[in-house]
Structure 1
Amino acid sequence: MRSESRRTSSASAALCRCWLLLLLIFAPVASLAGCGGCSQQTPAQQAAERKARELKEIEEAKKRLEEERKSKPFIVGHLTPLLSENLIEAEAGVSLRLAKPGHWATTVQPMKANLGDFEGRITVAAVDARGNPLPIPHTSYEMTSSRPAVLAKGISKRVENELLVPSAVEKLNVSSELINAGGSIADAPATEAWTLMPSHQYFLMVLAREPTRYAFLKVTDSVQAPYEDINGTELPHYRVVLADGNKPLPLPPNVLTWTSVAYVVWDEVNLDQLDPSQREALVDWIHWGGRLIINGPDSLDALRGSFLKEYLPADAGERTTFDLQSLEEFSTGWGARANGKPTAAISVTRPWSGVELQPRPGAKALPFADKLFYERSVGAGSIVVSAVQLAERDLVNWPGFDGFLNGALLRRPPREFSVEEGGAWTGLQTRWAGARDRVRDAHFTTPLRWFARDAATKANARNVSGPVDSSANAQFTYPMNAQFAETRLEVDRAGGLGDWDEFGPVATAGRDSLVEAAGVRVPAASFVLICLAIYLVVLVPLNWMVFYALGRVEWAWISAPLIALVGTLAVVRQAQLDIGFVRSQTEIAVMELQGDLPRGHLTRFTAIYSSLSDTYDLEFENSSAVASPFPRDDRWNPAIGDVLSTVAFEKYDQPRLRGVEVSSATTQMIHSEQMLPLDGPIRLSSQSNNPRLLQVDNKSGFDLTDVAIVFRDGSTAVEPAASDSAAEAQRKSWSKLKGFWIGDLASGDGRLLQKLETLSVAEGELPFAEERAAANELTSRKPLNVDPLLRLAFWFPQLDDPIHGARDEYRLIGRINKVLPGSVVSPSASQSTGSTVVIAHLRLGEAAAAEPDRNSPRDVQPAGQKNAYEEEPPTEDPPAEEQEQ
């Protein structure tokens, strides 16, 4: 029994060992098989499970990040130029931060206070590599910009500021500091790298309910401007900003920061998204040359009662459709090419929906586009409306559309396309017809013109080759010969048109007049003799005669000390006025008016003199004001070791430039600009029964003197010769002008214009020099000499300005002999004098007629070939329609 029991026990143990061995063998297999298939997952299920785990990890990371952010006192976002806020960099997912050098820019920065309410300020500045504000060239100052930052706990806020972008830098860094009420830094300063736009490049703003419909603009030749330079780069003419018209719009509230905007496309914009300052800025921008392009079918009804109502070219009528027959003239006219094949006709897959346009007085149909597109001049600018959808698919896909976009919608000169064979440029080249050397000239890419910034300026950029300069930071190219040469980009103005150029023609003329007017003058010997003679006459004979007549001759001895004291005070006072032993303020200004707009662009050049060291603030009554220190000349530079003083441009309840230090017995200058509200416009009108009888009315609220009316016939405009000096070019243009002298024109007065006579100007003189001299003889006080500015006031754009050079114009030129309101200097000056040159563009004729391009890209490139060095596409015959294109 014991043996049998032992055998049974041994068998059981052996069986257990077998099961254990099988378990050890098959357990891994079972686990790999998902427990024998009871919980087996498909690859899709496994991928979904992994994705769910990843999403959970991302959410947890976001929560941790949010908790960390909440633990910080402040959350401060990126400092971005407002105009480029909607331009998103694909990789980083942040705004591109584009700005034009030499222009004022509105900045925006989101921020939030987490721990409690905060009241302080945000300060921004263009800085160097060490974080110090960049010096203002040729001055002893550096400048920052400040704005209040009032934050409620836990609520995000967008804080706007205004910054003058330097022009004399290759790379731009901008810092921002959040400062509390006590003046200490509340949060760690941040520095952003901004990208500077080329001198010829501007913004094209699209404001639309569905902005993505206009994404096609980014790839058009009108925007991209194919032109491969020596360095193999292509620089677009425009940065297209697509903004949702139902959200807050990236439009600055100050028109003086719109100088980098060339065009605005408008399609079903929610008018509630524009505040009053944005609306006013848009109207001002149009009057100074901006072009507003309105998608009529969806926008005209809403604009009928809006702030733009009086400027619209047409009203919307009944809904209608446009078929192939109604588009035939448009297709043929804008598809024609003088030096190439006509483009294919528009293909209308189905009738286009649209509206019947009812043009208003003063409106004009675009060439070949009657009933389709109407435009109207508004000051120096214009508005164009469409009867069809601007983003109509058949229109956009039409091969002639880009030529219509360039010549009609953007109102730019015609282009020529070419491919250079055997030269340095190998790709498609886009040039302006008749101006091949001005490929990157801002006069062709923006219609905006500010007289104080752009009169008589050049704004081209060109590649220049020359000997190698090893000290220069230049780009190099290897020509075909063995010589090693340098190729560099030569730029007339870093910011193109609209540049805040302190040494441009108008700024230079203002400086010349200001230096003369504000100069310290030592009294001449005649002054001393005259004062002595008057004193002796009053003290002896006149004093004795008065009291002799009263029968009290003895009182003459009593009055003698009093007369001596009064005479001394009078002499000292007059000497102070001449020598400058007091605070003094001298201002030379230019005010430009456009059409019937009751606002003027006022540019001030202000000189502040003090016999003792002092610090001055300039405060402006209008929120549009911008200001910076103005260099006395272009030769002075701070010496090594000199400490620059910091001025702050602040936008609080009113803009002000704070902290302008003036050393003892020195003069400091300030350049400021603002939009000045007037009582009314200076208007040119005619009677309905006699359109040729013209009358000018002054409703501005200011009395004008030395008023002249000048007419320029645009057909007489000439192309200045390269060999002509500025003076010679101006004399040639003056010989084509007609004018009429008015003289004084008080506020509220009007004058009929008699026959305008051709100007006859003696060499070295100004127009109407004799009339002006005669008028000044009748005044009790000699006005300040502003001849350098008056000389420019008679300057008209010539044919080298392709957009405005051939326009007829009636212009009023006059002056206001006082300092205009709107700016207050503190501490106040004991003496203040000034003069303002007034330039009123009373009436502007039509711009040059819109024209199609001379040829098309497909005239010089095989279909599908991008560059001349690419192999040509297969030789099999393409479809007939493609051959025609």
Structure 2
Amino acid sequence: MPRFPLLFAVLSFPLIVGCDGCRTESTVNPDVDSELNAEDFVAGRPMPYPTDEKITTSGIKPGHWFTAVQSLKSNNSDSRGDLNSLSGMVEGPSLQSGKQASWSDTQALRRGSMISRRPVVMPRGQNKEIDYRTYTPKRFFEGKAKCYLSNRFVSSERAESFSTGAYPFTRMAAAEYFFVVLTQRPERFTRFQVSDWTRAIRDETSFDMGEPVINYRVVAPSPEDYYPLPLPLAETMLDWTNTAVVFWDDLPPEALTPRQQTALADWVHYGGQLIVNGAAAADSINKSGLADLLPLRPTGNIELDVDAATELLLNWQVPEDSSTDQQVALLKGRESRVAIDGVAIAGTDVIDGSGNLIVSRRAGSGRVVQSRCDLLSDWLTSWKSYDSFVNSVLLLRPARRCDPVQKVDGSGRMNLRTYVLPNGSEKVFADPTMNTRFRIAARDAVLPIVAEVVKRPSTAFLSGQDAYTQVDTLSGIGGWSDSSDVMRLCRETLRSKAGIEIPDSSLVFRSLGYYLCLLIPVNYLIFRMLGKLEYAWLAVPVIAIGGAIWVAREARLDIGFARSQTELGLLETQAGCDRAHLTRVTAIYNSLSSTYDIAFDTPGAAALPIRQGTDAAPISAVFKTGYAEGPILSGMIVGSNQIRMVHAEQMFSLGGALSLEANGNLVNGTDRELFDAVVIRKDPLGEMEIANVGPCPGQSSTKLRFRPATDEEIGESLSEEMNLLERALVRGDAIAPGSARLVARVGGSLPGMTITPSATQVSSTTTVLAHLDYSPWPSPVPDVNLPKADIRVLKDSDLKTP
């Protein structure tokens, strides 16, 4: 009798332990870890990139990945462990109490923040600058809010940790982006901090309106402050999305690491604006890996042509600018000035009215502007029209008008500056499309067909300046998004495809027939011929086991533990660029709860689980860097009989470029064969043409034959195998006038991402979007008038609170 209670206890033990089948949340509470002695460590303030060590210029843009650095020193012993980092948002002071909400790591995890982790080794007494990558999730607040960075060192030698503290940073507005100056003389650029294209002109009475007024946050990191460490700039384009403009002054080429140069080149090709200032900048870039971006290859220095400089001043002065004559006299009355001579690259344009002193060219969807002279010379900076010149010629932003208006309280008049748009309308504040030209199709493209399938989120809107770009009210343009048109289309498609594929009935009957045939007649005949008929019974279990293995392989099922992985991807590439941006949306299903790792083979990658709404469970996964060649999304839990989606992005090398030659030849210089390729182009009047290419082998050239077509005719000419995303990308209302694109598909799953444990059923479809031609840039226009003499650009620090 005693054996039965013992047997019952043994059988019940697994029920006590549990199988974690329904557990989807992390059990780690970062706020209650045992603390190391605070005297053992010294920690500085974390700084998000890009930065110049000034707290006033630092900021965090919600919805964007970024790189940050944490200074940490171990005082008493060598220390080894991990740095856990969190970034999130906290609501500002409430109207009732006026108190600022406090930061909590646990609360941040519940609200969608994800831990970023990297290994740390600290020799005793040495200050360690630890860089890491993190993401600030978007959260909507009716009032003001702050972004926070929180870091915690977790020792691998003791079960203890040390918190470096949680530090607040300015939350950057949707239209606000970084303006990075690469220079060895940052003091020259203090003027940019208070220029009227950086901040809107406003009177003291307008400071209480609570309206966004900052366009650019100017940072100028000095190499002297960081040597021998690299400049505080990210090493992947995915962390450059918060930057709109780079102004290269006199920075030597060795000041940027090879990865930083690659990230900068990628960023330019996807819409970044690079301004190359004079001889020193041209010489530096020409000696770097960025030389192909230059519109003008320098061959030497020459004397500045005074007549050409005078032409620039006269053509780009704002009407009624009384300082132009003084600047012309300054040019003619002083010693000679240096300019550069060089050879213009194909596709380089001279800015009209610049006296051939300003040239520009397109690099992918980005713009590179290069000056033959120093843009910080006194004959320019003391010119009253200088801000208008920078705003229009260098930044290609709309012209402005400054008009006196009556104050709301009737106490007098104030000056109101508005943007004069090309269509004749006016706008008081700039939207993100006016401040940045950076675009990623998977995040920002407008696909009108999506409105017929899924509903757009309430935080997204369409800009009146760019009808083909979706703007988020929190992250602006270029932010990480699980709800963009491309992402929502992929997610809806995956919901219908993901899961285990149940074998059809023919497999069952075929398998049963093979089994019975082997078990009875074949088995009988073999042993009858051998004269050992009695051994036929011993072969029965062998046949049964072999049959089970064969059925499992045919059905692509693990016995008792089924997994499937369904992936949709968008590979976006720019004309003439051999590096592409790859977005993957992967749906993972398994029959029993499992923990997954998603690893990348290059540093330029990022991944996040897709959360189902703001009330979803906390992200259990950890984003790891420094443990392998690329980042790892580790510990993502997929519950029993559940589907979980992962959003991943990475830069992908194509081995060559896709381009459309002037003679109409499509050149596929990549190492990938394209299937069901079509090329669509749209002229400035909106007329469409299509060329059906079909298969397009790698390293090939194909003569295109265009024909006029409507949306209906284009749809009818497409292959039946083209999915909903591909059909949306070729619609006329998704293509800007004056542009051309190729839409195709590559076979199989692209390398670069590994999911562990692997699935037995894997399905992958990757759509290719290649931009072959682009809409022309708008023509720069100077401001309508100058600000009044009694108006200046005010910063918040200029106001004294009583």
TM-score bin (small chain): 0.7 to 0.9
Matched AA of 2:172 = M
SS in 2 for 1:111: strand
Q: Shift of the alpha carbon at 1:460? A: 7.2
Coordinate RMSD, CA, aligned: 3.7
Query: Among residues 328, 352, 375, which one is paired with 1:390 in the alignment?
Result: 375
Q: Shift of the alpha carbon at 1:233? A: 5.1
1:436 aligns with 2:387: no
How far apart, in 1, do the equivalents of 2:445 and 2:773 lie?
Answer: 18
Q: Shift of the alpha carbon at 1:579? A: 12
1:668 aligns with 2:650: no
Matched AA of 2:689 = K
How far apart, in 1, do the equivalents of 2:43 and 2:293 lie?
Answer: 41
- Asked if the contact 2:621–2:633 (Cα under 8 Å) also holds between the matched residues in 1, the reply is no
How far apart, in 1, do the equivalents of 2:172 and 2:368 lie?
Answer: 26
Structure 1 pair 644/286, CA: closer, same or farther in 2 (3 Å)? closer
1:839 aligns with 2:769: yes
1:455-495 alpha-carbon deviations (Å, 9 max, x no partner): 11956799xxxxxxxxxxxxxxxxxxxxxxxxxxxx94201
Structure 1 pair 795/651, CA: closer, same or farther in 2 (3 Å)? farther
1:820 aligns with 2:750: yes
Query: Among residues 192, 204, 220, which one is paired with 2:195 in the alignment?
Result: 220
Mapping 1:762-781, distance limit 5 Å:
762=712, 767-773=714-720, 776=721
The residue aligned with 2:798 is none
Structure 1 pair 116/182, CA: closer, same or farther in 2 (3 Å)? closer
- Asked if the contact 2:500–2:563 (Cα under 8 Å) also holds between the matched residues in 1, the reply is no
Query: Among residues 695, 698, 719, which one is paired with 1:744 in the alignment?
Result: 695
How far apart, in 2, do the equivalents of 1:343 and 1:856 lie?
Answer: 13
The residue aligned with 2:31 is none
The residue aligned with 2:474 is 494
Query: Among residues 297, 315, 318, which one is paired with 1:333 in the alignment?
Result: 315
Q: Shift of the alpha carbon at 1:539? A: 5.6
Structure 1 pair 643/712, CA: closer, same or farther in 2 (3 Å)? closer
SS in 2 for 1:110: strand
- Asked if the contact 1:610–1:662 (Cα under 8 Å) also holds between the matched residues in 2, the reply is yes
Q: Shift of the alpha carbon at 1:818? A: 1.8
1:110 aligns with 2:60: no
1:126-175 alpha-carbon deviations (Å, 9 max, x no partner): 3664622456789xx75200112112222222110111012115333321
- Asked if the contact 2:279–2:373 (Cα under 8 Å) also holds between the matched residues in 1, the reply is yes
Structure 1 pair 676/134, CA: closer, same or farther in 2 (3 Å)? farther
The residue aligned with 2:16 is none
SS in 1 for 2:384: coil
The residue aligned with 1:864 is 790
How far apart, in 2, do the equivalents of 1:344 and 1:206 lie?
Answer: 27
Query: Among residues 362, 383, 386, which one is paired with 2:347 in the alignment?
Result: 362
1:279-314 alpha-carbon deviations (Å, 9 max, x no partner): 111110110111111112222233333212222111
- Asked if the contact 2:726–2:744 (Cα under 8 Å) also holds between the matched residues in 1, the reply is no
1:266 aligns with 2:195: no
- Asked if the contact 1:459–1:493 (Cα under 8 Å) also holds between the matched residues in 2, the reply is yes
SS in 2 for 1:301: helix
How far apart, in 2, do the equivalents of 1:130 and 1:599 lie?
Answer: 40
Structure 1 pair 384/797, CA: closer, same or farther in 2 (3 Å)? farther
1:388-419 alpha-carbon deviations (Å, 9 max, x no partner): 11101121121222221111101223233333
SS in 2 for 1:212: helix
How far apart, in 1, do the equivalents of 2:547 and 2:81 lie?
Answer: 54
Matched AA of 1:532 = F
TM-score normalized with structure 2 length: 0.79
Q: Shift of the alpha carbon at 1:577? A: 5.9
Number of aligned residues: 701
The farther-off stretch of 285-294 and 427-436 is 427-436
- Asked if the contact 1:459–1:497 (Cα under 8 Å) also holds between the matched residues in 2, the reply is no
SS in 2 for 1:596: coil
Residue ranges of structure 2 left out of the alignment (5+ in a row): 1-36, 91-101, 448-459, 465-470, 794-802
- Asked if the contact 2:48–2:69 (Cα under 8 Å) also holds between the matched residues in 1, the reply is yes
The residue aligned with 2:728 is 791
Structure 1 pair 579/506, CA: closer, same or farther in 2 (3 Å)? farther
1:77-128 alpha-carbon deviations (Å, 9 max, x no partner): 1111021343344xxxxxx541101000111111222222222111111366
How far apart, in 2, do the equivalents of 1:563 and 1:652 lie?
Answer: 46
TM-score normalized with structure 1 length: 0.72
- Asked if the contact 2:308–2:354 (Cα under 8 Å) also holds between the matched residues in 1, the reply is no
Q: Shift of the alpha carbon at 1:528? A: 2.1
1:642-663 alpha-carbon deviations (Å, 9 max, x no partner): 7763534444223101110111
The farther-off stretch of 737-746 and 373-382 is 737-746
How far apart, in 2, do the equivalents of 1:445 and 1:622 lie?
Answer: 31
Matched AA of 1:705 = F
The residue aligned with 1:309 is 291
- Asked if the contact 1:650–1:656 (Cα under 8 Å) also holds between the matched residues in 2, the reply is yes
How far apart, in 1, do the equivalents of 2:395 and 2:429 lie?
Answer: 17
How far apart, in 2, do the equivalents of 1:245 and 1:827 lie?
Answer: 45
- Asked if the contact 1:619–1:825 (Cα under 8 Å) also holds between the matched residues in 2, the reply is yes
Q: Shift of the alpha carbon at 1:533? A: 6.3
- Asked if the contact 1:539–1:563 (Cα under 8 Å) also holds between the matched residues in 2, the reply is no
Mapping 1:696-711, distance limit 5 Å:
696-697=667-668, 699-711=669-681
Q: Shift of the alpha carbon at 1:332? A: 2.7
How far apart, in 1, do the equivalents of 2:119 and 2:488 lie?
Answer: 35
Matched AA of 1:505 = D
- Asked if the contact 1:708–1:742 (Cα under 8 Å) also holds between the matched residues in 2, the reply is yes
SS in 1 for 2:268: helix
Mapping 1:840-855, distance limit 5 Å:
840-844=770-774, 846-853=776-783, 855=784
Structure 1 pair 575/303, CA: closer, same or farther in 2 (3 Å)? closer
Matched AA of 1:243 = P
Residue ranges of structure 1 left out of the alignment (5+ in a row): 1-69, 90-95, 463-490, 686-690, 718-735, 777-784, 799-804, 868-885
User: Higher Cα Rg: structure 1 or 2?
Assistant: 1
The residue aligned with 1:160 is 131
SS in 1 for 2:254: helix
Q: Shift of the alpha carbon at 1:276? A: 1.0
SS in 2 for 1:444: helix
- Asked if the contact 1:586–1:833 (Cα under 8 Å) also holds between the matched residues in 2, the reply is yes
- Asked if the contact 2:304–2:339 (Cα under 8 Å) also holds between the matched residues in 1, the reply is no
1:236-263 alpha-carbon deviations (Å, 9 max, x no partner): 2001112225554221112111001110
The farther-off stretch of 375-384 and 838-847 is 838-847
The residue aligned with 2:44 is 77
Structure 1 pair 533/144, CA: closer, same or farther in 2 (3 Å)? closer
Q: Shift of the alpha carbon at 1:354? A: 2.5
Q: Shift of the alpha carbon at 1:319? A: 3.5
Matched AA of 1:274 = L
Q: Shift of the alpha carbon at 1:619? A: 0.8
How far apart, in 2, do the equivalents of 1:442 and 1:203 lie?
Answer: 12
Q: Shift of the alpha carbon at 1:693? A: 3.8
How far apart, in 2, do the equivalents of 1:426 and 1:681 lie?
Answer: 53
1:404 aligns with 2:385: no
The residue aligned with 1:62 is none
- Asked if the contact 2:558–2:760 (Cα under 8 Å) also holds between the matched residues in 1, the reply is no
How far apart, in 2, do the equivalents of 1:438 and 1:575 lie?
Answer: 63
Matched AA of 1:772 = S
Matched AA of 1:809 = S
